[in-house]
């Protein structure tokens, strides 16, 4: 079985809401998002970004912290934030929404000074275009270029440099078995 087939087979998503047309549009939006406009780029140092959405899928790498509610979400500190225009694709945001931890997103939004996140996660009935645009702006267009992510449980700080967050742990925090058993 080819890897493509395995992936096709395994990565089945909820496609009920997505017509082929929507899928095409999503693909275009993803393609267009790879090229971030208005930024000087060179061969290697191109537009690395830490989108706000990312932080909703991340917690502290220290194992003891994962069981603690205070480790999620990690907290932004001393951040340099940029807004980069990304092609607006409502269906992408809509499909993302069920995966979002809303309480976590609200915490993050407040830390970044982003005021327009509603108290309660919108559902398909309450989701209108202005709200989708707000979410698009927060989740995809708001990008952290420099700064720190801090665990609310252990206090460990992870650095973000040039848009890449580094979650490698120092030896004393990581779990790293060395001996064969």
Partner 1 sequence: MNEMADSKGRSLAMGKAYEEKHVHEVYQQIAQHFSTTRYKAYIGCGNGKYLAVNPNIFIVASDRSEALARIAAKHQPHSTIVADVLNLPHPYSFFDFAMSIAVVHHLSTRTRRVQAISEILQTLKVPNDTDQGGRALIYVWALEQKTSRRGWDKGDQQDVMVPWVMRGSSVAESAGHETQTFHRYYHLYEENELERDIQSAGGFVLESGYEKDNWWAIAVRAPENDESISATKLL
Q: Which stretches of the chain bind partner 1, using CB under 8 A?
A: 1-4, 6-8, 10-11, 13, 15, 18, 23, 26-27, 30, 33-34, 44-51, 53-54, 57-63, 66-67, 72, 86, 92, 95-96, 99, 158, 162-169, 171, 174-181
Locate 93 and state its tokens.
């945001």
Residue nearer to partner 1 on the CB measure, 40 or 115:
40
Q: What are phi and psi of 54, to 5 degrees?
A: -55, -40
Residue nearer to partner 1 on the CB measure, 52 or 115:
52
Residue nearer to partner 1 on the CB measure, 73 or 117:
73
Q: How far is the CB of 115 from partner 1 (least distance, A)?
A: 24
In the DSSP assignment, the letter for residue 128 is: -
Element (H, E) at 130: helix 129-136
Q: Per-residue b/e over 73-89, b at no fewer than 16 CB within 10 Å?
A: bbebeebebbebebbbb
- Write down the residue that tokens 């609200």 correspond to: 106
Q: Per-residue b/e over 47-58, b at no fewer than 16 CB within 10 Å?
A: bebbbbbebbeb
Q: How far is the CB of 88 from partner 1 (least distance, A)?
A: 14
Q: How far is the CB of 114 from partner 1 (least distance, A)?
A: 18
Residue nearer to partner 1 on the CB measure, 123 or 175:
175
Element (H, E) at 129: helix 129-136
Q: How far is the CB of 61 from partner 1 (least distance, A)?
A: 4
Residue nearer to partner 1 on the CB measure, 32 or 111:
32
């Amino acid at each position: 079985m080819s890897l493509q087939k395995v992936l096709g087979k395994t990565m089945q998503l909820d496609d009920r809401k997505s017509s082929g047309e929507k899928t095409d549009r999503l693909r275009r939006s993803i393609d267009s998002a790879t090229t971030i406009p208005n930024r000087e780029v060179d061969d290697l140092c191109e537009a690395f970004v830490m989108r706000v959405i990312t932080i909703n899928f991340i917690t502290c790498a220290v194992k003891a912290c994962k069981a603690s509610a205070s480790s999620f979400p990690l907290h932004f500190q001393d951040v340099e934030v940029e807004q980069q225009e990304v092609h607006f694709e409502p269906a992408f945001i809509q499909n993302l929404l069920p995966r979002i931890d809303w309480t976590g997103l609200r915490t993050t939004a407040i830390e970044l000074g982003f005021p327009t996140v509603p108290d309660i996660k919108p559902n398909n009935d309450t989701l209108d275009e202005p709200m989708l645009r707000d979410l698009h702006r927060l989740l995809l267009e708001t990008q952290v270029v420099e700064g720190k992510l801090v665990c609310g449980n252990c206090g460990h700080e992870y650095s973000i440099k040039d848009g890449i967050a580094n979650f490698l742990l120092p030896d004393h925090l990581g779990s790293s078995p060395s001996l064969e058993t």
